[in-house]
Amino acid sequence: MVILGKWKNQSVTLSIKPNTLTISLDGSEGPRVLSYDLCGRLWTAMLRQVSYRRGLDGKVVAKWIAENGQRDRRWLPVEECRQLLIEAVEITSNLLLAIQRGEATLSPTLQPAEQVLLEKAAAFSPNQAARDADHYRAIYKPVGILPPDQYMAVVLQLTEGCAFNSCTFCTFYRDRPFRTKKLPEFAVHIQAISEVLGEGLSLRRAVFLCGGPSFLPICRCRRRG
């Protein structure tokens, strides 16, 4: 579903898909784009020609093209992450208020379910984001590394640490011993992840067993089965 409109001399595009809400504004400030999962959790943004991607842990990476044409990136400090969320809330809540007051024209008009989704996005404040990140950290040990094709996967930590943990070039798991979760514990882990992701689970494209390495306990599980 794509909804087009006008608000304060800028074009408005709301793209509502089975797994995301994307708000696009184009006016004197240039294009501004905010994307949310179905829980209203900010996922990506494009503001002032800088793209942002936010992880479930609350960390945000900014990417842009420098004047010399080179691609650049950096991780935002905590306060800049907070300011990004404040700006996103301001944009989304002001748009929602304008729609409710009839100051923004949309075609077709928002249906009740679509308005609820926009309300969720407008409510994703820095405080809500902090609570969300706290829930993430309560479930996950630090994720060392993911293959690039698994960035949008549901990560399951069947193991903690690394069975080898002796590679001189790797420091991802030096701070924790290797262990495999028992099946009841792993089931609780999966349920907790499902509850935290909520409707945002629809944004995830695959399931990835994370650990260093996870294939050893998988083989054991298969032999026991």
Which tokens belong to 133? 């990140």
Nearest 5 degrees, angle CA 125-CA 56-CA 114?
Answer: 55
Divide the 225 residues of the chain into consecutive groups of 10 and give the mean pLDDT of each group.
95 96 94 97 97 95 93 96 98 97 95 95 97 93 80 87 74 77 92 93 87 51 46
d(CA 61, CA 59): 7
Which residue in 23, 16, 20, 18 sits closest to 2, CA to CA?
16
- Whole-structure pTM value: 0.85
**pLDDT tens digits, one per residue of 34-81:** 999 999 999 999 999 999 999 999 999 999 998 888 999 999 999 999
Domain extents in the chain: 2-132, 140-224
**DSSP-derived pairing of the beta strands 206-209 and 50-54:** unpaired
Angstrom CA distances, 61 to 13, 54, 64, 111, 181, stand at 25, 7, 10, 33, 31
SS3 214: coil
Q: Which residue has the tokens 């075609």?
A: 107
SS3 221: helix
